[in-house]
Amino acid sequence: SQQGEEDPQALSIQEGENATMNCSYKTSINNLQWYRQNSGRGLVHLILIRSNEREKHSGRLRVTLDTSKKSSSLLITASRAADTASYFCATKAGKSTFGDGTTLTVKP
């Protein structure tokens, strides 16, 4: 079974708006990672948050982690058309950890 489950499945917003996507997982973790995949390409690592961290920032990205609820959220602020992609969370390399992702469409 898959560890990470992203929500919503699809999200469509206007350029400049914020985008929030969520990830839920089932077992305890050491850390959680978010990846981006542009259509037809490989995945690119965005950010890693460790289990003892609650929030982490990287540029326009903000990730939160709530280990009591076994959930994480990724916020992209001031979105751009170039942010259009699928976003995945992952919790453990070497195991089937990727859900179906959230497909984000940012309209110019």
Partner 1 sequence: DGGITQSPKYLFRKEGQNVTLSCEQNLNHDAMYWYRQDPGQGLRLIYYSQIVNDFQKGDIAEGYSVSREKKESFPLTVTSAQKNPTAFYLCASSIVPGGAETQYFGPGTRLLVL
Residues making contact with partner 1 (CB under 8 A): 2, 29-31, 33, 35, 40-45, 48, 88, 90-96, 98-101
The answer to whether 106 and 16 have CB atoms below 8 angstroms apart is no
Instruction: Kindly tell me the sign of the dihedral angle through the C-alpha atoms of 28, 96, 7, 63.
Output: positive
* Minimum distance, C-beta of residue 42 to partner 1, in the bound complex (Å): 4
* Minimum distance, C-beta of residue 18 to partner 1, in the bound complex (Å): 24
* Minimum distance, C-beta of residue 56 to partner 1, in the bound complex (Å): 14
56 Cα distance to chain centroid: 12
Looking at the Cβ atoms of 37 and 73, the one nearer to partner 1 is: 37
The answer to whether 19 and 104 have CB atoms below 8 angstroms apart is yes
Looking at the Cβ atoms of 93 and 108, the one nearer to partner 1 is: 93
Name residue, tokens 């982690």.
65
